[in-house]
Structures are given as structure tokens and as C-alpha cells.
Structure 1
Amino acid sequence: MRNRLENFLAGISRQLFRIPGGFFIVVLLKRIFPAPNTSPSWKTFRFRGMVFRVDVSKGMGNAIFWRGAHDWGPLFVLERVLKKGETFIDIGANQGEYTLWGLRKVGPEGKVIAYEPSTAIFQQLEENIRLNPRYTQAITARKLGLSDRPGTLKLYTKSGINEGVNSMFPSAEHDVFLNEIELSTLDSEVRRLGLKRVDCLKIDVEGAELPVLNGAEQTIKKHKPVIIVEINQSSCKAAGYEALELLQFLENLHYNLFTIGLRGKLIPLKKDAIPEFSNTIAFPV
């Protein structure tokens, strides 16, 4: 009975993204039904035409189950940016939150390419793709890390319940070894896959954002995609560069930069006041 009630209320709470302030109702519901202490605890549900399977004992999975998304701001923007038939590349796809959203937007006639190097999380990504067979021809999932050169590296994560914080750069926070990963560049991948268009990139790779962009420079120059990128100053420093370098790279390629605010509001980004953490979107001029 409790499980059915939880599933019913979660179905309602996932619709509250439409309502300003709905987040606070979701917080209340999550307190009534706290995350399980045992791991894993899987839930399968349908939201906006897509089927998800998530582990609600984990931070990201629990957020997706109750809210429909781990972070709504970039998804509000993706909803406006992506069109039917376009090509969306999800770099750092995790379990497929953006991947499935992108598939819904570009449709079976479009393309989504998803990159996720973690062995365990890639299995979750593949499962979520399998649960949406209508889009089989539109999706390519690659167990691969992207950077500025090919090679291999070790992948690390944080201890705790958040499954979305894997990094190629060990630090005091990222100190748990996951697995060794293969690396390539986006430029090489675009050639290998024979992509004729690239309309939007989403990059969330815990500090490897600048190396990924360096390895995608020819693709960006040729296709001029909209780019959604996470900026975490601590992760940038752990990777050996400053967040400002990332922004300058995009500006040098003639992009205008905006911070993604609440409910997808776009705020012009000031380079002299870079937030410690932000989701940023870059539009070609």
C-alpha cells in the first residue's frame, strides 16, 4: 500500500515543474517518503512519454523519480533549443537524464549520441535506452570518455550516494577509484560516426570540460552547435586550469555566454564574476 501511494504521489510531484514554487511541495513529499537506506532500490516510471529506471537510494535517481529531473534549469533550455530531426551529443550522459530528454525532442528521425565512461553507470544508461525502443534507430551510446587526445585514464568518484560526480582527475573529493577508461576526441568521433550535422552539445564531465572542448574544436568551428556546459571552479582547478580559460575558449570561437538560472532563465555571464558553480549555455554569434 505504501509503495503504491509513493508511486502515485511521485507521479503527481513530477508534474510540479510546470508550477513556480512546485519544488517546495516536492521537498515535503520527499520528507514523507525518505530515500531507502538499502541500495539499490529500483523504480521504473514513465514521464513525458519516456520510460526511466532509477535507483532511488541514490541522489540523482531519487531526484529524477520525485522531480522528473536532477536539475531542471538546463532541461528548460534544452526544451527550447532542440528541434525534431536535429543531432544532440550528450557528453557525460550518466544514466540518461539528458539523453532521454534529447531523444524525445529530436524524435526517431533525429540523432542522439551519448558518452558515458563509467562501467556501472553505462549499464544504467543502456537499460534506460532499452526501455524506449521507439528511439532505437536514433540513439548511439558509447562507453567512452572524451578529452583532447586519445588514450586511457583512471576514473574516480566521491564516496556517498551521489552517482553523478565521476571525474578523470583525482582530488581530496574524488578519491574512490572506479575503473580505467578509454579516451577519444569528439572530432574523431564525429568523423567515425559520419555525422552530417551537430546541433547541440551538453558537456558535464566534472572538470574535463576544457579538454573535451579542445578535442571538439574542429566540430565546433564547422557545425557551430549550441553548447551547454557545466562550470565548477573547484573541478576546473583539480584538472589544472581556471574556469576563465574555458569561457575564453568559447568566446574565441565567437560564442555568446549565458548562465542558466531558475526555470531556464538566461543571464548574460560576466567573466569578472564567475559563479563557483553554474550551468552555462553558449550560442554561436
Structure 2
Amino acid sequence: MTAAVSDLHSVALDDGRVITCTTAQDTMVWPSLSAGSPYDAGLAGLAAGDVVIDVGAHIGLTALSFTDRVPGLRVLAFEPARRTYACLADNVARLMPDVTAFNVALGAEPGVAELTFLPNHTMMATIAADDADDERNMAAVLTNFGVDESTRDDFWRGFRDGAERYPVEVRTLGDVLDEQGIAEVALLKIDVERAELPVLRGVRPEQWARIRCVVAEVHAVDGNLDAVVALLTAAGFTPEVFQEDVFAGASVHIVSARRAES
């Protein structure tokens, strides 16, 4: 059951556009998408008509920034969390005519998975729950922002309040590419909290030649980062791995990979 827009909130961006969100916290990422974004390299050279796949689209701010920077991009945005998808769908309908929203997760095989949703931290929704990794990453972020002990205590007290777990549909990216008639993907963006490797495994071997660039947030847990780099290398990409300052000491890295011939 998808949340009703009347149950959600509205926040005005600095340019006056109104964003539907679950809480005002959802829009805090917006300034970082316009300057020094990890997606800058992936957007380089894109033009109107190019296709971008946004896996883990949240409320649609990344898609909005992509279409702002490259007008005419066609974006397919995937978000399985009910309340977050309601925001995404509303934002797409009002602000992004070239974006199509899908209320599903992407994975290695089609089926159903359990999604963990934290109402106070909606960007951490995932079908690959790992409480220890979440806490380690958030502790690093709090340290990097210089948050004092009193504020940290308040943060942790409400961290998992209202946590929800429910089943969501899972599809493969390979099936989506075929069903949507996508001949070429200019940029595959992935941000799915430890479920990035299954997303990539959902692309069939013969389909990799149709993807020009991948930019993924990858958590270095259980060999995940090495496996992602190895998969992309084998598929003909040249991956580069870096870590944003805010995640120093955390498991979160960015893998940016472009096809070797491009």
C-alpha cells in the first residue's frame, strides 16, 4: 500500500520548487548534488535523449539534478519503499516530465524481498539490512561532522524509532532493459545500501555492452566492494574507487566505472 500524498510534507528548494518528502531531512542532500557530486563524471558528455537508470531513487532529487543539468535526459527511477515512492511519484508528476518512476527493487533474480525502512532515516531503506554497518557508518558521519556527545545521544535514541519491515517486489535490470526497449544506458546510478552487487548481477552478460557508465555507492562489507569492482572489470569497464570525506572511516565508497573503449 502506497502512502497518500496528503500524509507527506512539502519543502521548498532554494530555487522555489516545492518537493514532496517524508520529512524535511529528505532534502538535505540537495546542495551536494549541484557541486562536487559523485555523479559528475557519469554525467559528463550526456545529451538530450540519453537514458539514465536511477536505482535507489529515493524522493527523486538525484533524478531532478540530472535533468536540470542535462535537459531532455530520459530517466528510469526505481524506489521500493512505500512512503518514499509516494514522494518520488508526486515529484516526478509535477517536476520531471522525462522521468518514469517504478515502485520496485532491482536485484539478481525476480521475486520478493523484505525491505527495512527507518522513518527517521529514509535514505537508509534497504533489502540488505545490516544494523552493525548502519551504526558504524552513522558514527563515522557524526564524527566527521564534529557532532557533540549530547547531540549524538539524542540521535541514537531516535535512530530506529518506528522501523518498518515489509515485502517488496524485486525485478532484474536485465528484464527492465528489455521490457522498456532500452538500446543503450548512458549512466547506471546505484545507491541501495549494500544491495548493489545483486543489482549488477541482474544484468545479463550480453547486455553489458549496452551500458556506457556505472556510478555506484558501494559498502565495503563481506567482500562486496571487491566483488563489484571485479564484476565491472570483467564486463569491460575501468572502475575507479574513492571515498567522500563525509564517509571517512565508514564502509561507504563510490565506484565510478566507464567502458574501456569509451
Written as runs of structure 1 = structure 2, the 5 A alignment for 1:160-179 is 161-172=120-131, 176-179=163-166
Counterpart residue identity of residue 253, structure 1: A
**Distance of 2:219 and 2:34 partners within structure 1:** 17
Deviation at 1:220, TM superposition (A): 4.6
Cα distance change, pair 252–52 in 1 and its aligned pair in 2 (3 A): farther
Q: 1:222 aligns with which of 190, 198, 209?
A: 209
Cross-structure match for 1:278: 253
Cross-structure match for 2:110: 150
Deviation at 1:189, TM superposition (A): 0.5
Cross-structure match for 2:87: 124
Q: Compare relative contact order (CA 8 Å, sep 6+) and give the higher one, 1 or 2.
A: 2
Cα distance change, pair 180–54 in 1 and its aligned pair in 2 (3 A): same
Written as runs of structure 1 = structure 2, the 5 A alignment for 1:192-207 is 192-207=179-194
Gaps of 5+ in 2: 1-6, 135-159
Counterpart residue identity of residue 255, structure 1: F
Partner SS for 1:195: coil
Partner SS for 2:177: helix
Gaps of 5+ in 1: 1-38, 264-273
Partner SS for 1:168: coil
Partner SS for 1:74: coil
Cα distance change, pair 56–112 in 1 and its aligned pair in 2 (3 A): closer
**Distance of 1:87 and 1:204 partners within structure 2:** 17
Deviation at 1:41, TM superposition (A): 5.5
Cross-structure match for 1:51: 17
Written as runs of structure 1 = structure 2, the 5 A alignment for 1:59-138 is 59-64=25-30, 67=31, 69=33, 72-108=36-72, 110-132=73-95, 135-136=96-97, 138=98
Cα distance change, pair 56–141 in 1 and its aligned pair in 2 (3 A): closer
**Distance of 1:155 and 1:148 partners within structure 2:** 15
**Distance of 1:156 and 1:56 partners within structure 2:** 16
For normalisation by structure 1, the TM-score amounts to 0.68
Aligned length: 223
Q: 2:228 aligns with which of 241, 246, 266?
A: 246
How far does the alpha carbon of each residue in 1:147-174 deviate from its partner, in whole angstroms, 9 at most, with x for none? 0100001100346x32200111233357
**Distance of 2:206 and 2:93 partners within structure 1:** 29
Deviation at 1:68, TM superposition (A): 5.7
Deviation at 1:55, TM superposition (A): 4.5
